[in-house]
Amino acid sequence: MTKSTWHQGELIEVAIADLSDTGDGVGRFMERVVFVPDTVPGDRVLVRLLHVKPNYAHGKVHQLLEPSPHRIRPSCIVADKCGGCQWQHIDYEYQLIAKRHQVIQALQRIGGFAQPPVDPVLVTASSLGYRNKATYPLDVSATGQVQAGYYQKGSHHVVNLNQCPVQDPRLNPLLAQVKQDIQQRGWPIYDEKRHQGQIRHLGLRIGRRTGEILLTLVVKEGNLPGIEQQAQEWLQRYPQLVGVSLNRNPERTNAIFGRETRCIAGVPYLREIFAGLEFQVRPDTFFQVFTETAEALLQVIESQLNLQGHETLIDAYCGIGTLTLPLCKQVRQAIGLELQPEAVQQAIVNAQHNGINNVEFQVGAVEKLLPKMGIIPDVVLLDPPRKGCDRIVIESLLASKPARIVYVSCKVATLARDLKLLCADGIYTIQRIQSADFFPQTSHVEAAAFLVLSQSGKDN
């Protein structure tokens, strides 16, 4: 093959040297980049080219010629098919090295920071059995059996599971049996192509510290015949199950949950202990899936801020107050901003339940609320969705100039973009960046950036 030829379907030999931010192995062939899923830096592989562009291509492993020293046997028997994890074939220590490198690369390439101060990745408990939440799409096999699992890589074909090594093992007994119950009830499974049927997803959630479990069925319409009786049977069968709910999602959408959730039996929330506080967590509440690592990152935030009790804190994108409420104990006043009214209601309940009265929560988009605050807080905590902060949020911070900003991010590309704006003209400087592994066995990495207002920022 010459440099000018580059054809779909051809076999090429590639040495894998890096990992992309989507988890694929990265190698080079004739000065062009090749992305290959299910590979590890150090692998030498024969690759079948699938999607070819002038300067790069995507391929799949045709033959493993020489394995990397970082390659291991996956813990899951369907890891090569299931799209839930990308990195079970990579030893965990190397996963952490790759994730820190991912943060550094984004800050250098997108943010323009020559030597970003990125700490080693924060880890806590086991890299398996950590997920406190699992939401499985449902399907029907060719023989008519109800299936639940994650989608196969690159498709919407469900890989059937009876257990999952990354979810809390206390959820596994429910997964296999609930499928059988759905089968016996004859409830129709949703067909996304035809937009017909009823049950779309099975949701399981557990309080890691309390052991309380919620079971939720996401349905196209509002009811299932016999659901009340079945819900009571589930509550009797599983002592740790505290609530069964139906979530209604009638839309043609990839979003899992709809707007309406109705408790069928038990209670509509589970209790979880986080940072010494008791939280009520509902089926569709955002709550970090790795409780222990989220708590460890909070401890890093507390240590780095070293709050003295006189500060005003604004927590933008505060959710149910997961970070806001623990920090309330260390400040004079806290204000949480959140778009979702249901999350704010839960935050208020959680504050009252824990006897916290120096906090207020406001409903609305952060980009609309923050410019109207009328105060200059001592600390602003940012924890936006993957798309990062709206430009108005950044401009508002640059105008009000809080002394310190903590930016917690679930997508380092948008973190790097926003830090570049905040640190432009030397207004803010980065003290440190703590990377954290909230999703072991996947390519996802979180990071918390700690910014301080520089002297030039104070003078301007």
Helices 412-422 and 92-109 sit at what angle, rounded to 10 degrees? 40
For 72, residues 6+ apart whose C-beta sits below 8 A from its C-beta are: 89, 90, 91
DSSP letter at 365? -
CB contact at 8 A, 16 and 43: yes
Which tokens is 113 given?
């920071």
List the Cα angle 163/443/29 in 5-degree steps. 120
Which tokens is 281 given?
């967590």
What is d(CA 249, CA 114) in angstroms, rounded to the nearest whole number?
46
Q: 44-52 and 56-66: which strand pairing?
A: antiparallel
What is d(CA 112, CA 110) in angstroms, rounded to the nearest whole number?
6
What is d(CA 174, CA 161) in angstroms, rounded to the nearest whole number?
11
Pick the catalytic residue from 76, 318, 389, 410.
Answer: 410
Residue 410 annotated to the active site: yes
What is d(CA 268, CA 376) in angstroms, rounded to the nearest whole number?
38
For 157, residues 6+ apart whose C-beta sits below 8 A from its C-beta are: 139, 151
Taking the CB of residue 429, how many other CB atoms lie within 10 A of it?
Answer: 15
Exposure class string for 15-28: b at 16+ Cβ within 10 A, else e: bbeebbbebbbbbe
Q: Which of 216, 249, 247 is nearest to 231 (CA)?
A: 216
Catalytic residues: 410
